[in-house]
Amino acid sequence: MAVAEQVWIPDPEEVWKSAELLKDYKPGDKVLQLRLEDGKDLEYCLDPKTKELPPLRNPDILVGENDLTALSYLHEPAVLHNLKVRFIDSKLIYTYCGIVLVAINPYEQLPIYGEDIINAYSGQNMGDMDPHIFAVAEEAYKQMARFRNQSIIVSGESGAGKTVSAKYAMRYFATVSGSASEANVEEKVLASNPIMESIGNAKTTRNDNSSRFGKYIEIGFDKRYRIIGANMRTYLLEKSRVVFQAEEERNYHIFYQLCASAALPEFKTLRLGNANSFHYTRQGGSPVIDGVDDAKEMVNTRHACTLLGNYDSYQMGIFYILAGILHLGNVEFAPRDSDSCHDPLTIFCDLMGVEYEEMAHWLCHRKLVTATETYIKPISRLHAINARDALAKHIYANLFNWIVDHVNKALHSTVKQHSFIGVLDIYGFETFEINSFEQFCINYANEKLQQQFNMHVFKLEQEEYMKEQIPWTLIDFYDNQPCINLIEAKMGVLDLLDEECKMPKGSDDTWAQKLYNTHLNKCTLFEKPRLSNKAFIIKHFADKVEYQCEGFLEKNKDTVYEEQIKVLKSSKFKLLPELFQDEEKVISPTSATSSGRVLLSRTPVKPAKAKPGQTSKEHKKTVGHQFRNSLHLLMETLNATTPHYVRCIKPNDFKFPFTFDEKRAVQQLRACGVLETIRISAAGFPSRWTYQEFFSRYRVLMKQKDVLSDRKQTCKNVLEKLILDKDKYQFGKTKIFFRAGQVAYLEKIRADKLRAACIRIQKTIRGWLMRKKYMRMRKAAITIQRYVRGHQARCYAKFLRRTRAAIIIQKFQRMYVVRKRYQCMRDATIALQALLRGYLVRNKYQMMLREHKSIIIQKHVRGWLARVHYHRTLKAIIYLQCCYRRMMAKRELKKLKIEARSVERYKKLHIGLENKIMQLQRKIDEQTIVSFSFIVTIIYYVMSLTCHLITIMYLSCIFLNTFLGRQSPQDYHMLNEDGELWLVYEGLKQANRLLESQLQSQKKSHENELESLRGEIQSLKEENNRQQQLLAQNLQLPPEARIEASLQHEITRLTNENLVRAVMLLEQSWSLTSLSVPLSSHWFSGGSLLNVEVSSSWLSGRYYNVFYFPSEVGQMENISPGQIIDEPIRPVNIPRKEKDFQGMLEYKKEDEQKLVKNLILDLKPRGVAVNLIPGLPAYILFMCVRHADYLNDDQKVRSLLTSTINGIKKVLKKRGDDFETVSFWLSNTCRFLHCLKQYSGEEGFMKHNTPRQNEHCLTNFDLAEYRQVLSDLAIQIYQQLVRVLENILQPMIVSGMLEHETIQGVSGVKPTGLRKRTSSIADEGTYTLDSIIRQLNSFHSVMCQHGMDPELIKQVVKQMFYIIGAVTLNNLLLRKDMCSWSKGMQIRYNVSQLEEWLRDKNLMNSGAKETLEPLIQAAQLLQVKKKTDEDAEAICSMCSALTTAQIVKVLNLYTPVNEFEERVLVSFIRTIQLRLRDRKDSPQLLMDAKHIFPVTFPFNPSSLALETIQIPASLGLGFISRV
Residues belonging to the binding site for ATP are 156-163
Question: Within 13 Å of residue 754, how many CA atoms lie on the same side as its CB?
Answer: 16
The Cα 934–Cα 928 span in angstroms is 10
> Which of 249, 299, 255 minimizes the C-alpha distance to 275?
255
SS3 1508: helix
The Cα 220–Cα 228 span in angstroms is 6
DSSP 971-1030: HHHHHTTTTHHHHHHHHHHHHHHHHHHHHHHHHHHHHHHHHHHHHHHHHHHHHHHHHHHH
Q: How many residues does the chain have?
A: 1523
Strand ranges in 310-379 using DSSP code E only, listed in sequence order? 365-369, 374-378
The Cα 444–Cα 450 span in angstroms is 10
Burial 1113-1126 (b: 16+ CB within 10 A, else e): eeeeeeeeeeeeee
Q: Vertex 7, ends 6 and 11: CA angle to 5°?
A: 135
Backbone angles phi, psi at 73, to 5 degrees: -100, 120
Question: Within 13 Å of residue 122, how many CA atoms lie on the same side as its CB?
Answer: 16
The H or E element containing residue 1353 is helix 1350-1373
> Which of 70, 67, 1130 minimizes the C-alpha distance to 688?
70
Q: Vertex 1190, ends 1188 and 1194: CA angle to 5°?
A: 45
Burial 288-302 (b: 16+ CB within 10 A, else e): eeeeeebeebbebbb
**Residues near 419 by beta carbon (within 8 Å), at least 6 away in sequence:** 144, 148, 149, 220, 221, 225
Annotated binding-site members: 156-163
Torsion of CA 1059, 1065, 1070, 1073, to 10 degrees: -150
SS3 579: helix
Residue type, 486: L
Backbone angles phi, psi at 131, to 5 degrees: -55, 140
Q: Is 24 within 8 Å of 1 (Cβ atoms)?
A: yes
Helices and strands in the chain: count of H runs, count of E runs: 53, 25
Beta bridge partners of 211: 201
Q: Is 424 within 8 Å of 270 (Cβ atoms)?
A: no
**Residues near 725 by beta carbon (within 8 Å), at least 6 away in sequence:** none
> Which of 1314, 1415, 1311 minimizes the C-alpha distance to 125?
1314
The H or E element containing residue 951 is helix 950-966
Q: Is 178 within 8 Å of 186 (Cβ atoms)?
A: yes
Q: Vertex 665, ends 661 and 671: CA angle to 5°?
A: 155
**Residues near 245 by beta carbon (within 8 Å), at least 6 away in sequence:** 202, 251, 283, 284
Measured CA to CA in angstroms, residue 622 lies from 400, 495, 499, 1156 at distances of 19, 11, 10, 77
Burial 1466-1494 (b: 16+ CB within 10 A, else e): eebbebbeebbeeeeeeeebbbebeeeee
Instruction: Report DSSP state, residue 705.
Output: G
The Cα 1182–Cα 1174 span in angstroms is 14
